[in-house]
Chain A
């Protein structure tokens, strides 16, 4: 079965330190990979995506993610965390090559807490 795993329910980081939010996937073919962020009681906002090409993808608010095909991972990273980065982060994957249109598979989310 196709799936996305975010192994950490919560990540705690001190402000100014680097952060990593982990994501691994299991899908057939070459996937499209996404990261979204959700602030309390709000909808999700798009951060970045990987389609093809350079394995390091840069996105909004200084975030970046590294696609690793051999490890089937797409970890989200930021060199220096801000308190305002505290939110719920979702990894999502869509298998390429057709199938159900738009049926992204979402991970369960990782709560990021950045302390001053």
Chain B
């Protein structure tokens, strides 16, 4: 079955450490996204990529980095510069969004929960 796989499901980090969250999709989608979810705050966009080797900052990119070397993969690194990294992280993908097709539906992974010790 096609879908998005996020790993690990749970991750613990010590302060000062960088951690990388994996996101892999087999839906042949061009666009991929990373969201952060905090209780009562909805979803906030961290980074997005419309095509391989290109990505853009979202609303809360500070302290995060991404790469898009393959169409199927969009890993997120939470760096030590992110002061409050404890959150639930969601990866999503969709067909490439053009101005005339903004109604593309996002498919989400099951999420990764990061806790800073």
Asked if A104 is an interface residue, CB under 8 A from chain B, the answer is yes
Contact between A32 and B102, CB atoms less than 8 A apart:
yes
A32-56 vs B, Cβ < 8 Å mask (1 yes, 0 no): 1010100001111110010100000
Asked if A75 is an interface residue, CB under 8 A from chain B, the answer is no
Q: How far is the CA of A82 from the CA of B59 in the complex (A)?
A: 36
If A49-B105, A101-B96 touch, does A41 touch B111 (CB 8 Å cutoff)?
A: yes
Q: Which of B31, B42, B44, B103 contacts A109 (CB 8 A)?
A: B42
Q: How far is the CA of A102 from the CA of B110 in the complex (A)?
A: 19
* Partner-A contacts on B (CB < 8 A): 4, 6, 31, 33, 40-45, 48, 50, 56, 58, 90, 92, 94, 96-99, 102-111, 113
Minimum Cβ distance to chain A for residue B89 (Å): 10
Contacts of B6 in A (CB 8 A): 43
Contact between A97 and B99, CB atoms less than 8 A apart:
yes
Q: How far is the CA of A9 from the CA of B48 in the complex (A)?
A: 28
Q: How far is the CA of A9 from the CA of B113 in the complex (A)?
A: 22
Contact between A101 and B43, CB atoms less than 8 A apart:
no
Contact between B42 and A43, CB atoms less than 8 A apart:
no
Contact between B103 and A32, CB atoms less than 8 A apart:
yes
Contact between B58 and A103, CB atoms less than 8 A apart:
yes
Q: How far is the CA of A1 from the CA of B7 in the complex (A)?
A: 35
Contacts of B50 in A (CB 8 A): 101-102
For A46, A51, A96, A106, the residue with the greatest tally of chain B CB atoms inside 10 Å of its CB is A106
If A9-B40, A45-B108 touch, does A102 touch B99 (CB 8 Å cutoff)?
A: no
* A52, closest chain B residue (CB): B103
Contact between A46 and B97, CB atoms less than 8 A apart:
no
Contact between A106 and B42, CB atoms less than 8 A apart:
yes
